[in-house]
Structure 1
Amino acid sequence: MSRPTGVVRAKDALGRFGEDVAARHLEAEGFVVLERNWRCADGELDILARDGDTLVVCEVKTRSSLRYGSPFEAITERKLHRLERLGMRWMRERGVRPQRMRVDIVSVLAPPGGRRVIEHVRGLS
């Protein structure tokens, strides 16, 4: 069964909200957001940003509660390697040659009616 055009699932809306929060957080920390939601046949990168001379591949995980664990628990070693490979592909396709590349995770916990908590872990790769 398909959804009518323009209908957004709650999970997708929460994810988009988290990515917006994460992008604002990164910019407030002095990062330059280069691209969001970059897709290729092998996957998607949530946010690509520049932190000085470092390209940052930023994975955003958003949850409305801790019922199914913290957002960080969703990042496996396999996922981390995939993010690194996708970051390399993005650089090749864009002709970007930074001095370094790293993978960061931004966790957004946004409980309904509660206080939003943002955690940023730098350099998982």
Structure 2
Amino acid sequence: MQPGSDSSGAILGGCDDSRSIPDRHGGHRPAAVPPLSDPSLTARELGRLGEEHAASWLCDRGWRIVDRNWGTRFGELDIIALDAEKRLVFIEVKTRRSMLQGVPAEAVTPAKRLHLRRAAAQWLTASPRGRIRHHEVRFDVIAIDASGQAPVITHIEGAF
């Protein structure tokens, strides 16, 4: 069983309450999502579920999700999180169910990196959440290989 998954392999929601479901006791329970190995998923659905899986994986490791799917004219920032050392980390998530087009991390091209840096600068200046206390900024990539029964996560810290 993968971290952040239930016994069926379905990935559970992230650590922020906005992605959870109220329960009858006034608390929240994570929303279950289909497994990444589901062949009926569209590319967009696979990407969204990959981001859910990555957020859950980070939360399981003590990270705090600050923002998700923040869009600018430069593109979208998938996950913005604080690690245990209070580093503000902008995380690009790439999910692939086949390696025919290369490994997931190869999709983060130099042009994509430039767009992500510009989007991050805009988030830091425009978003009220950009004023969060942090010690430094870093860019990571989480690559998810969903070609097998269980997804394989590779976290590339300081990828660019």
State the shift of 1:88 in Å. 1.4
Match of 2:73 among 36, 41, 45: 41
State the alpha-carbon separation in 2 of the partners of residues 66 and 18 from structure 1. Answer: 15
Q: 2:119 aligns with which of 86, 94, 100?
A: 86
Output the CA distance in 2 between the equivalents of 1:68 and 1:116. 17
1:53 Cα shift? 2.1
3-state SS, counterpart of residue 23 of structure 1: helix
SS of alignment partner, residue 158 of structure 2? coil
Counterpart residue number, 1:121: 156
Q: Which has the higher helix share?
A: 1
CA–CA distance in 2 between the matches of 1:25 and 1:62?
A: 14
Runs of 4+ aligned residues of structure 1 deviating over 2 Å after TM superposition are none
CA distance in 2, matches of 1:117, 1:47: 18
Higher normalized contact order (CA 8 Å, seq sep 6+, divided by chain length):
1
CA distance in 2, matches of 1:105, 1:41: 21
Deviates more, 1:97-106 or 1:12-21: 97-106
- The size of the alignment, in residue pairs, is 116
2:43 aligned with 1:11, yes or no? yes
- % identical aligned pairs: 40
**1:99 correspondence with 2:135:** yes
**Unmatched runs of 5 consecutive residues or more in structure 2:** 1-40
RMSD value, Cα:
1.6
5+ residue gaps, structure 1, are 1-8
Cα drift, residue 67 of structure 1: 1.3
**3-state SS of paired residue (2:149):** coil
Q: Does 1:67 align with 2:103?
A: no
Q: TM-score normalised to the size of structure 1?
A: 0.85
Q: For 1:84 and 1:98, how far apart are their aligned partners in 2? A: 17
Shift of 1:120: 0.4
